[in-house]
């Protein structure tokens, strides 16, 4: 069929092949976040325990991972366009597996940084930028729902991945557990991607690639950096993710001496479980809400949870606060994409999401390191966690600023679900 005559596809049908891609992305996100995001708190605690390295050194390597990864993720849209989503997903999985094995073999600090550099490529190929760009090739009207459902895998990676990894380390040791986990990931993800991820539907591919007036990726990025509405989203979520990532990476180390390793693991599992609950509940109503206001309220709820964590020592209070904090964690991963989808043109979606992800990652790359340094200097987590509260509240104000639109970027539609 001629690309100029796009076919009509019912994306709401359960028979639509795009929902298989959602399931694939759910699996990819499960392992991507288990190794690249939530796993960082396990690496910090394990390397600190086994080598006696200071928290600032190990968390500094985590910051390096995010910072280097930001330089890679900004080009995800171009990589998907050039090599296709299947090849990019397999490359990301391979890099993550190699890095996991390398992390288990670390004996010197420089080796930790090399392993995190490899992990950065894996993270770019298995995390938000890759998943949203991949789903953008299969979905148009239902893109927001597809992204929300797929990114529940990110939370599942914390719910299942972290406890299983901790159990495996306790039984088999850090090195063996990391190697085994990497092999399981490759055995599950690679065949699934090869079987189910093919060419995207003609109507979506043609809409994204054949429009005569479609600007280049470089032009879209340049225009976005002049758009106050885009910048307010990018900066606000960058500040919040700085606080969120810094907190989560240090969570086990913070809770371990207070309530013990077992309860600390329960707390992070609850945090990620609530992230799933929050995202699922939000997905049913988010298209009818003011997404910027919903973001601001989410930021404020996390600030309140952090205040409880700082000022209480009751095991139940701390675990409950982690649950409250976690309720917004999943939404803060999903909401930027949904705001971009609603407020900006579909032809700019992939590039803008990659750019927003890179800006956030450059910023939150310093979160674990800054929290670690402030903890070492002050002797406790009180000072850095109060700093995180200040960032959350600042972002709650910033996200409400829409500014004047950049006409070439903004969407022109009446239905917020269409794109």
pLDDT in tens, 145-180: 788 889 888 878 877 888 888 899 989 988 999 999
407 assigned to some structural domain = no
End-to-end CA distance of the chain: 23
The Cα angle at residue 39 between residues 106 and 249, in degrees rounded to 5: 100
199 assigned to some structural domain = yes
419 assigned to some structural domain = no
222 assigned to some structural domain = yes
What tokens does 363 get? 């910023």
Instruction: Yes or no: say if 219 and 360 are a contact pair by the CB < 8 Å rule.
Output: no
pTM: 0.77
* Burial class (CB within 10 angstroms; exposed 0-12, middle 13-18, buried 19+) of 93: buried
Q: Is the dihedral of CA 401, 407, 413, 417 positive or negative?
A: negative
Q: What is the residue-averaged pLDDT of the chain?
A: 84
3 assigned to some structural domain = no
Total domains present in the chain: 1
The Cα angle at residue 188 between residues 336 and 273, in degrees rounded to 5: 45
Residue stretches of the chain with pLDDT short of 70: 1-8, 10-12, 202-214, 287, 403-419
pLDDT in tens, 172-196: 988 999 999 999 999 999 999 999 9
Q: What is the pLDDT of residue 407?
A: 61
Residue 352: which CATH number? 1.20.1250.20
CA pair distance 309, 312, nearest whole angstrom: 6
Percent above pLDDT 70 for the chain: 89
What tokens does 398 get? 């910033």
Q: What is the pLDDT of residue 5?
A: 44
Instruction: Yes or no: say if 402 and 342 are a contact pair by the CB < 8 Å rule.
Output: no
59 assigned to some structural domain = yes
User: How distant, in Å, are the alpha carbons of 213, 264, 265, 348 from that of 248?
Assistant: 43, 11, 12, 31
How many Cβ atoms are within 10 Å of 144's Cβ, its own excluded? Answer: 24
180 assigned to some structural domain = yes
CA pair distance 94, 104, nearest whole angstrom: 16
404 assigned to some structural domain = no
CA pair distance 323, 248, nearest whole angstrom: 12
User: What is the DSSP annotation of 90-120?
Assistant: HHHHHHHHHHHHHHHT--SHHHHHHHHHHHH
User: How distant, in Å, are the alpha carbons of 185, 242, 339, 367 from that of 237?
Assistant: 30, 8, 11, 13
Domain ranges, residue 253:
18-398
CA pair distance 88, 124, nearest whole angstrom: 9
* Proportion of the chain in helix, strand, coil states, percent, rounded to 5: 80, 0, 20
């Amino acid at each position: 069929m001629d690309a100029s005559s796009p076919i009509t596809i019912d994306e709401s049908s359960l028979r639509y092949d795009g929902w298989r891609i959602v399931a694939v992305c759910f699996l990819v996100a499960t392992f991507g976040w288990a190794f690249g995001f939530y796993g960082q708190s396990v690496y910090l605690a394990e390397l600190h325990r086994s080598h006696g390295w200071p928290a600032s050194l190990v968390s500094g390597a985590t910051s390096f991972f995010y910072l280097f990864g930001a330089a890679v993720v900004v080009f995800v849209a171009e990589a998907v366009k050039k090599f296709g989503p299947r090849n990019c997903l397999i490359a990301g999985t391979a890099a993550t597996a190699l890095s996991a094995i390398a992390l288990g073999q670390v004996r010197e600090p420089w080796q930790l940084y090399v392993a995190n550099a490899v992990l950065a490529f894996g993270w770019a190929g298995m995390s938000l930028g890759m998943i949203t760009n991949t789903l953008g090739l299969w979905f148009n009207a239902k893109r927001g729902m597809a992204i929300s459902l797929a990114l529940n895998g990110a939370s599942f990676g914390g719910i299942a991945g972290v406890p299983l990894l901790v159990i495996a380390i306790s039984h088999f040791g850090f090195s063996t557990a990391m190697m085994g986990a990497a092999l399981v990931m490759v055995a599950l993800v690679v065949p699934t991607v090869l079987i189910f991820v093919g060419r995207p539907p003609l109507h979506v591919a043609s809409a994204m690639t054949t429009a005569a007036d479609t600007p280049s990726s470089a032009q879209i990025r340049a225009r976005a950096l002049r758009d106050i509405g885009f910048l307010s989203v990018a900066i606000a979520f960058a500040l919040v993710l700085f606080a969120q990532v810094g907190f989560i990476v240090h969570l086990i180390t913070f809770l371990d001496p207070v309530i013990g390793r077992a309860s600390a693991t329960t707390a992070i599992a609850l945090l990620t479980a609530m992230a799933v609950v929050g995202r699922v509940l939000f997905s049913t109503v988010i298209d009818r809400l003011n997404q910027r206001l919903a973001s601001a309220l989410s930021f404020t709820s996390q600030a309140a949870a952090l205040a409880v964590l700082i000022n209480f020592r009751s095991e139940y209070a701390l675990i409950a606060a982690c649950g409250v904090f976690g309720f917004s964690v999943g939404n803060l991963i999903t909401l930027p994409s949904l705001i971009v989808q609603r407020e900006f043109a579909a032809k700019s979606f992939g590039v803008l999401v990659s750019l927003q992800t890179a800006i956030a990652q450059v910023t939150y790359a310093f979160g674990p390191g800054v929290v670690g340094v402030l903890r070492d200097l002050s002797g406790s987590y009180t000072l850095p966690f109060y700093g995180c509260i200040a960032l959350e509240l600042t972002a709650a104000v910033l996200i409400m600023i829409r500014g004047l639109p950049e006409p070439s970027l903004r969407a022109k539609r009446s239905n917020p679900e269409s794109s």
